[in-house]
Structure 1
Amino acid sequence: MRADNAELARHWRLLLGSTLGICVSSSALFYYTSSVFFAELNHALGWSRSELALANVVHTAAIALLSPFAGRFMDRHGIRAPIVFSLCAQAACYAAIALLPATLPLFLSLQALLSLLGVAATPVGYSRAISARFDAKRGLALGLAMSGLGVVAILAPLVLPRIVEAVGWRGGYLSLSAFVVLLGAPAMWLLGPEVDRTPVRPAAAPAQATHDLPLHRRPLFWLLIAAFVLPMLFGSGYIVHFIAMMRDRGLSATEAGTMAALIGVAVLLGRLVTGLLIDHLFAPRVIAVVMLLFAGGLLLLTTGHPMLALPAAFTIGFAMGAELDVLAYLVSRYFPIARFGRTYGVFYGALMAGGACSALLIAQLHARTGSYDVPLVLSAAMLVLAAALFLLAPRFPSSPASS
């Protein structure tokens, strides 16, 4: 068996456990279920789109602030115990949202608590474990694990509206609590205690004089921060707004949900295809092309033609699927693996900060202009800028760094 294929065979439990765990990560469940819940809460409780967008700000801002600290903690103490704690906290918070009184301050407070306690169950820990064990097939392994986000993106708009229609939004949140338990338990069993005992493997990293510098003193860090945050700030919010955009164009809730499911399919394909490509092609160039396709997809939405919304939905999902996959890969190639959790946590936190503002920014631009055309054109321009920044990224370092 070839050495690169042997990596997949040797660590299949880690891959499967990570995929299941990422399916129920706090970021996955919030992003890919919020459009369903936002529409229902707006109808049932009268909360405005801008008020509901605050939940996105509260949720992801908390993750953005804590991700670097969670990553550093997992670098030092392992990933399994923190993830188990966060999964239990998530299940409890979703149950609390379903059972406690429906007031906006309490709802926002529970979303913040969900983020604070569930931060270790984000992709930070899983990506660290995979990057420490894979080299030749690292891109594919990250893509397979991150495909858990795509599975949720496909199933949520198809299954959740039917649950909410049958048992209401409270029943929908209870179903999320049960989902966390049903997938989280086997995920932790598959990872097992040995996930924290396997030593970190060496990987390409900058020379000693460079990688000892603080992140904020490295120009490459700021280049990558800007390139990754721009798509999150100006693009990720369309996942939250997509169903509302389609409803504004006369589609029914079921039709809009079915179309939104295409985003989930594209997220899954984006993770797998990009993961496979970056094992063979220079990753910054791959993600630059993806960003240009994303920009084109957003411009298609300005036409208002329902059929053009299908390829637009695909490009949104494909780009969002590719971004986190490439982020983990580039962090593992440009920075020391032994500090992966802390470094990836900083990047992930920055992306979440951008994502926290994205839905609100789009909502405010929509409210001021009366349509989505202005934010769509602005977002497309920012994605072209992000593609240009990725093309400025240097070649990967060739000198191995000790773990």
Structure 2
Amino acid sequence: MPDPMPEGHVSSRAEWGLGWRIVLAAGVGAAAGLILYPFVASLFIQHHTAAFKWSRGEASFASVASLIAGSLAPFVGRLADKAGVRPVIILGALGFAGACIGMSLQNGNIWLYYGLTFLLVFFGLGTTSITWARPINAVFVRSRGLALSTALSSVTLTAAVTPPLLNHVMQTYGWRSGWVMLGLMAIAGSALGLLLLPKVKPRAEAMLNSYRLGEATRTPAFWLLVSGMFIINIPSGGLMAQMAALIGDKGFDGATVASVLSAFAISVFFGRLVAGFCLDRFPAQLVTFIAMGVPAIGCLMLLGQSAYMPLVIAGIALAGLSQGAEGDVGPFLIARYFGLKAFGALMGCVNAAVVTGTGVGGILFAQAYDFTKSYDIALWAGAGCFLVGALCFAAIGVSRRARIEESAAADQV
């Protein structure tokens, strides 16, 4: 596989001078699309079940539709590689908004709900880092990690503000208006992001040694990256889906649970920024190994029925740091080791692994609790998943060195 992209002769300050509008555009565009949906989806569930007399099990089965749509992320990325990011973002935002409007008009047919969920996720993929990270990687090399983390951190900030605002709209005007608001936000955010986004010509350093999709998928590094993303998102997805219940089972009241969830959001924000800063300055394999391995300690801190608040907050915060770092790792490693020629398709593969792992984790954590009336088994397994995933990222460096040595030996023959 290729060496990491050359750093070139452009300083970090010069990169920011050239690309700050790209970071701003990506931050605005990505913050209002599909990435925001998981933070607000739970607000709609209680209204749907009350309005249409669905069981929670029936409503949650929509996650299967999300998984199927998420598995098509490589197709969306491939389209962005061929047609460019602008058409895909426009189509994605319009399709996502259309699905939201459809949700606001639903009549209680559960299969219509599943179908709209599929369309929402499928079109929404065009508003994610599959598209928005590409122009950042095309301009930033020396400061790529910080640029990606700065842009994607906007999602965390939006996620902190949108739920209470959306809840207010739903309580005042009804739940259907909430879906309309979500769709309009996607169109407004994407439109503003595209207006801010300048035409980008990739720097030579960013395109050097770029791999095609078929070439990249034949390298061990690609499969280590995809496997690592899938494995760490099993416990991450499980913790996100069951976090409120897990904390509540320790005897904390609703206000305290909300405060702990806020600590999680804050740790995601700082985890993303710190990871981006470190990726630019230290070996990527070391940074990712630590970022993805440390949450294993957080899982162990959450074991049992201990209601010691500092321990619970520390455990949740460590999980949040990994969640934040994960958003930087995928686009950063793909651009560094595989270039931009097939960036969208490769990023789509990573996103598919993330979506699948998250869905599987949510199901497994819930099933573990149903069988044992405790999350301890899930937390022990989650700690192991974080460590195995971290080792996958560390092994990327080993596979790269082996490939370089193999190429050097072949040249001597």
Mark yes or no: TM-score above 0.5. yes
CA gap of 1:292–1:199, structure 2 versus 1, over 3 A, is: closer
Q: Secondary structure at the match of 2:108?
A: coil
Q: Deviations over 1:213-235 (max 9, x none)?
A: 63332122222222121011222
Partner of 2:112: 106
Question: How many angstroms apart in 2 are the aligned matches of 1:323 and 1:356?
Answer: 16
Partner of 1:386: 389
**C-alpha contact 2:213 2:342 (8 A) present in aligned 1:** no
Offset at residue 102 of structure 1 (A): 3.1
* 2:342 is the alignment partner of 1:336: no
Q: Secondary structure at the match of 2:294?
A: helix
Offset at residue 369 of structure 1 (A): 2.0
Question: How many angstroms apart in 2 are the aligned matches of 1:123 and 1:43?
Answer: 34
CA gap of 1:165–1:375, structure 2 versus 1, over 3 A, is: farther
* 2:5 is the alignment partner of 1:4: no
CA gap of 1:134–1:388, structure 2 versus 1, over 3 A, is: same
**C-alpha contact 1:133 1:200 (8 A) present in aligned 2:** yes
Paired amino acid for 1:17: A
**C-alpha contact 2:96 2:183 (8 A) present in aligned 1:** yes
**C-alpha contact 1:35 1:243 (8 A) present in aligned 2:** no
Question: How many angstroms apart in 2 are the aligned matches of 1:249 and 1:157?
Answer: 25
Offset at residue 322 of structure 1 (A): 0.5
CA gap of 1:320–1:223, structure 2 versus 1, over 3 A, is: same
2:44 corresponds to which of 37, 40, 62: 37
Paired amino acid for 1:281: F
Partner of 1:234: 235
* 2:367 is the alignment partner of 1:360: no
Q: Deviations over 1:314-362 (max 9, x none)?
A: 2222211101201111111111322212222222222222223221222
* 2:223 is the alignment partner of 1:222: yes
CA gap of 1:104–1:365, structure 2 versus 1, over 3 A, is: farther
**Larger deviation, residues 33-42 vs 74-83:** 33-42
Paired amino acid for 1:32: F
2:314 corresponds to which of 311, 315, 319: 311
Partner of 1:268: 269
Offset at residue 44 of structure 1 (A): 5.9
Paired amino acid for 2:133: S
Paired amino acid for 1:355: T
Paired amino acid for 2:293: L
Q: Deviations over 1:41-96 (max 9, x none)?
A: 4566554454443223322431222x212212211221012101211221221222
* 2:351 is the alignment partner of 1:348: yes
Offset at residue 388 of structure 1 (A): 2.0
CA gap of 1:50–1:380, structure 2 versus 1, over 3 A, is: farther
**C-alpha contact 1:24 1:184 (8 A) present in aligned 2:** yes
* 2:146 is the alignment partner of 1:140: yes
Partner of 1:375: 378
Q: Deviations over 1:188-247 (max 9, x none)?
A: 21115x24xx245333866x9x87863332122222222121011222232222223334
Q: Secondary structure at the match of 2:268?
A: helix
> Which runs of structure 2 are paired with 1:59-138 in the superposition (5 Å)?
59-65=66-72, 67-138=73-144
Q: Secondary structure at the match of 2:121?
A: helix
Offset at residue 165 of structure 1 (A): 4.2
Partner of 2:286: 285
CA gap of 1:180–1:377, structure 2 versus 1, over 3 A, is: same
1:23 corresponds to which of 26, 31, 34: 31
**C-alpha contact 1:299 1:376 (8 A) present in aligned 2:** yes
Offset at residue 145 of structure 1 (A): 1.3
Partner of 1:259: 260
CA gap of 1:159–1:266, structure 2 versus 1, over 3 A, is: farther
CA gap of 1:85–1:254, structure 2 versus 1, over 3 A, is: farther
**C-alpha contact 2:237 2:359 (8 A) present in aligned 1:** no
* 2:195 is the alignment partner of 1:201: no
CA gap of 1:345–1:183, structure 2 versus 1, over 3 A, is: same
Question: How many angstroms apart in 2 are the aligned matches of 1:331 and 1:272?
Answer: 19
Question: How many angstroms apart in 2 are the aligned matches of 1:93 and 1:213?
Answer: 33
Question: How many angstroms apart in 1 are the aligned matches of 2:255 and 2:94?
Answer: 32
**C-alpha contact 1:204 1:334 (8 A) present in aligned 2:** no
Paired amino acid for 1:202: E
Equivalent pairs: percent with the same residue? 28
Question: How many angstroms apart in 2 are the aligned matches of 1:352 and 1:9?
Answer: 35
Q: Secondary structure at the match of 2:341?
A: helix
CA gap of 1:166–1:132, structure 2 versus 1, over 3 A, is: same
Q: Deviations over 1:266-320 (max 9, x none)?
A: 2211111110111001112112112222111122222332613322222222211
**TM-score of the pair, normalised by structure 2:** 0.85
Q: Secondary structure at the match of 2:42?
A: helix
Partner of 2:408: none
Query: How many pairs align?
Result: 392
